Amino acid sequence: MTTCDLKSHIVDSGFYSNGYATSEVRTIFCDIYRYQRWLDVEAALAVTQAELGIIPEWAAEIILEKAQLKYLDLNAIREGIKTSSHSLIPLLCALRTVCPRDAGQFIHFGATTQDIQDTAQSLEIKDVLDIVERDLVQIINRVSVLAGKYRDTVTIGRTHAQHALPMTLGLKFAVWLDELWRNYERLQPLRERLLVSQLFGGVGTMDAFSEQGINLLAKFSEKLGLKAPNTAWHASRDRAAEFLSVMAIISGTMARIANEIRCLSRNEIGEMEEPFKMGKIGSSTMPHKRNPEMCEQAIVLARLIKSNAALGFEAMINEHERDYRAVRLEWVTIADSSHFICGQLSIMKAIMEGLIIYDNTIRKNVDNAATFISTEALMFYLGTKIGKQTAHHVVYEICMEAIESKKPVLDLLLKHPEIEGKFEREELIETIDPGRHIGLSKELTDLTINAVSANMQKYSPVTISERICPLKNTGGACEVKR
């Protein structure tokens, strides 16, 4: 292995990358696709300028034909970056070299570097949002199925990591479903605000385009499937900050779900578990371990994405009309968060598809905790004869004694001076049946499933085309070795 073969970023690791990203999202941000995207933007600019008479049509035709990475000398571009310390000029020089008849003189006509790179970044974000939306819909559909399947399954509701009251497992899934749907809804206005072009020149005045500037921007944007912004956003990086923030919110929801599955897989609870297959090893020294590593990795990725969101806010602080501190942060944060969110969603899809539910353990846990998780209902029932506040005091004293003495609650309760002779054991046993105290769990589950299903029909499904390597026809690799 030579030095140039080494890959030091975890998302590009030949061994561990699948825990942090997917091949689909890695393609979006790889050197080859990024350079080709910049060329696509330059070609769109040239064609639009020709249509408006800003540059000759013949020059635009040549630029459009030659703006393909397969024609360019990648080694010359790499060396040019080392010499010039400029991120775009060496690429433009390589393109100009292959354009005959002086057509290269009309490349990048009146634009500034950030116009091209920011516009391309919007196209990258669009591709990422397509993947996020598609995967989120798949997870929503799966959780909806789980909510319906376990609509009637009584389980223990927990607060502060302690047994609380009865509920249904379907309602737990419905709460997840409702939150997932809110995340899906966040993506829709996000597209409207974020997916915009940039074409304003050095300080945002469009001076090089004369009176054609606004019309050029509109037509240029339309060709690329982007909206035309009102003003330059070279120094206004709120869009990038919003993208990173929403990715952090979505990843936080996924992490919360993953963490709940992880907690419920504890040996002493054992109610659900992430997918398992023979050959999956939990420990090098403890052969019995079935560690929830998929869930833990989903949480790790959420923490990384949240950290990048903070950097997105840092990138909002710029000077005057432009500086590169924000852009250089975004090249890392947007790419990394995109990798991490797509990697996390891939993991969560696998978790939800293969989620293991232990129905028998759930029933056993409910039966064992029946008295304690029904104390609210017991208190109100006793309160019909002795008053609610008195009942609360009595049940509290009895429960604390039962916990300390390990004696049955009902045995202690029926001997209490406030209770003795006023209630029969049979009626109290019936009162503490957890299945009678799930409230509106089923109705709330149905309401959520139906609401999400109805709302989902308003949105068109995202289709993602297969990404063809720009160097495929020339036998080139989909990356530039560093």
What proportion of the chain, given as a percentage, has pLDDT over 70? 96
Per-residue pLDDT tens over the stretch 364-421? 999 999 999 999 999 999 999 999 999 999 999 999 999 999 999 999 999 998 888 8
Q: Which residues pair with 273 in a beta bridge?
A: 356
Confidence of residue 478 (pLDDT cuts 50, 70, 90): low
What proportion of the chain, given as a percentage, has pLDDT over 90? 80
Interval 445-457 mean pLDDT: 95
- 160 assigned to active site: yes
pLDDT at 77: 93
Gap between the Cα atoms of 275 and 228, Å rounded: 46
* For residue 2, pLDDT beyond 60: no
Which residue stretches of 154-195 are H helix? 169-194
pLDDT at 325: 83
> Which one of the listed residues 160, 284, 320, 460 is annotated catalytic?
160
Gap between the Cα atoms of 166 and 438, Å rounded: 5
Gap between the Cα atoms of 391 and 397, Å rounded: 10
Query: Hey, what domains does the chain have and what are their CATH numbers?
Result: 23-109 (1.10.275.10), 117-203+230-363 (1.20.200.10), 375-432 (1.10.40.30)
Q: How many CB atoms lie within 10 A of CB 469?
A: 18
pLDDT at 3: 47
Confidence of residue 1 (pLDDT cuts 50, 70, 90): very low
> Which one of the listed residues 23, 283, 405, 453 is annotated catalytic?
283
* For residue 464, pLDDT beyond 90: no
pLDDT at 472: 60
> Which of the two residues, 182 and 15, has the higher pLDDT score?
182
Per-residue pLDDT tens over the stretch 116-157? 999 999 999 999 999 999 999 999 999 999 999 999 999 999
Retrieve residue 76's tokens.
């010359």
Confidence of residue 5 (pLDDT cuts 50, 70, 90): low
* For residue 482, pLDDT beyond 50: no
Per-residue pLDDT tens over the stretch 220-269? 999 999 999 999 999 999 999 999 999 999 999 999 999 999 999 999 99
Tell me how far CA of residue 212 lies from CA of 42, 48, 200, in angstroms. 17, 11, 11
Instruction: Say if residue 415 is exposed, middle or buried (CB neighbours under 10 Å; 0-12, 13-18, 19+).
Output: exposed
Prediction pTM value: 0.91
SS3 content of the chain, % helix, strand, coil (to 5): 65, 5, 30
- 283 assigned to active site: yes
pLDDT at 16: 86
Instruction: Say if residue 331 is exposed, middle or buried (CB neighbours under 10 Å; 0-12, 13-18, 19+).
Output: middle
Tokens 């690429």 locate to: 91
Gap between the Cα atoms of 177 and 147, Å rounded: 8
Per-residue pLDDT tens over the stretch 191-222? 999 999 999 999 999 999 989 999 999 999 99
Per-residue pLDDT tens over the stretch 257-305? 999 999 999 999 999 998 888 778 777 788 887 888 999 999 999 999 9
* For residue 333, pLDDT beyond 50: yes
Retrieve residue 415's tokens.
């001997």
* For residue 479, pLDDT beyond 50: no
Gap between the Cα atoms of 259 and 351, Å rounded: 12
Interval 425-434 mean pLDDT: 92
Per-residue pLDDT tens over the stretch 77-102? 999 999 998 989 999 999 999 999 99
Residue 436, classed as helix, strand or coil, is helix
pLDDT at 473: 52
Gap between the Cα atoms of 336 and 324, Å rounded: 18
